[in-house]
Structure 1
């Protein structure tokens, strides 16, 4: 069986969803602001660690999140409906006020960072908290990843191909985050305020469509069972 097509379909579902909610380009601008007093080597180290940590968070959520919830008796269709609604609601908020979302991220991260005159090792220790959680891959990203994990088998995709495609999407997002954060000072100059707003709204619109699609994948089987019964 050729698994390339199903795996590619999973990748094409997961990549834009995760890219939209993580939004590494917008995150890089904030990363540049809150780590601006650190030296370039320290910031490069932080970018690498955040990228690796983000990959771990997304992969664990994709692979294990839906199984953990299923353990508590939550069906996949219910999880798709709830998760899709959360994703769509989050996207709607981002679409209407992306500046509020980014400002909240910045405040969460900045409030937990050490003072700029502290030891570089102390600054580097902040790579997981708060720069990975909740700044880069916070509750919204985890919710999206868990919801994407419920799509296994929804379209007849073999499990191996599904998880390969989704995992590749998560790793790709983590790599983009690493590169974006490492080049944060340059991106800030290139994008500017207008570019950040445009990117945020475009990402939010894509994420809204994905949230609605996931809701439909849970609602259609439920309606079918109700009508058949």
Structure 2
């Protein structure tokens, strides 16, 4: 049991800091402002469920999947960071286009929920390349023995479930929190969050480039 608790305490802070459900809730509120409360709650549940699947797949199969397709962690960070940065820039610099898009979706909100639940709300906004990288790194450190492996599995899975619960609570309550703080403060926080997301995407790309450059230098033969 102590090993499971230790695994949980290792994974939960690491995943929570990179997922940041509270910050993501403001973007969720902006993107879904044209939906009814019932639709928001349903969408929050879908995003939480998809985020759980992404975290579990990354924890337990991420390294194997990347190796199978020949994808390096650096390539994942560069591509994923670019997607995060571009989507954040779209939110930050083109609010008019975002509002027009919301109005276009208003007549077919049921289809819009299915369209945006996984992309972009789950991937890359909620559990993007940063979360995947952290989860892959956590899963790669799994023990090899049976009892310790089971405890590690329980602790890591519990952490992913707890993060998914935090996402669900934060996202389903996003509109009420936004209503309490007011429209002006909500827009300011949403823009600030989008800017921070842009910085996160840029940092993820930088980390990927550093990984690629380091790998290239390591691959060069040492002159005799």
Settle same-fold status: TM greater than 0.5. Answer: yes
Q: Deviation of residue 46 (structure 1)?
A: 1.6
Secondary structure of the structure 2 residue equivalent to 1:46: helix
Partner of 2:154: 160
Cα distance in 2 between the residues matched to 1:219 and 1:175: 38
- Check conservation: 1:20, 1:203, Cα contact below 8 A: no
Contact 2:92 2:195 in 1 (8 A): no
Distance (whole Å) between structure 2 residues aligned to residue 216 and residue 8 of structure 1? 30
| Residue matched to 1:128 | 113
Q: 3-state SS of the aligned residue for 1:10?
A: helix
Aligned-pair CA distance for 1:191: 1.6
Greater mean alpha carbon deviation, residues 43-52 or residues 18-27:
18-27
User: How far 1:25 moved relative to its partner?
Assistant: 0.7
User: Aligned pair in 2 of structure 1 residues 96, 137: CA closer, same or farther (>3 Å)?
Assistant: closer
Is 1:89 aligned to residue 89 of structure 2? Answer: no
Distance 1:85 1:111, change over 3 A: same
Residues 30 and 49 of structure 1, relative CA distance in 2, 3 Å threshold: same
Write the deviation string for residues 117-164 of structure 1: whole angstroms up to 9, x where unpaired: xxxxxx5x3573245244532455464354444223345573432332
Q: How many residues align?
A: 210
Cα distance change on mapping 1:109 and 1:16 into 2, 3 Å: farther
Matches within 5 A, 1:134-145: 134=119, 136-138=121-123, 141=126, 143-144=128-129, 145=131
Tell me if the contact between 1:109 and 1:134 (Cα under 8 Å) persists in the aligned partners.
Answer: no
RMSD (Å) for aligned C-alpha atoms: 4.2
What's the CA shift for 1:2?
A: 3.2
More helix by share: 2
Q: Which residue of 2 aligns with 1:55?
A: 48
Cα distance in structure 2, aligned partners of 1:88 and 1:21: 20
Unpaired runs of 5+ residues, structure 2, are 144-151
Give the C-alpha shift of residue 3 in structure 1: 3.1
Q: How far 1:176 sits from its partner (Å)?
A: 0.6
Unaligned runs of 5+ in 1: 36-42, 116-122
Whether 2:19 is the aligned partner of 1:18: answer yes
Query: Which secondary structure state, in structure 2, belongs to the residue aligned with residue 23 of structure 1?
Result: helix
Partner of residue 181 from structure 1, selected from 138, 158, 175? 175
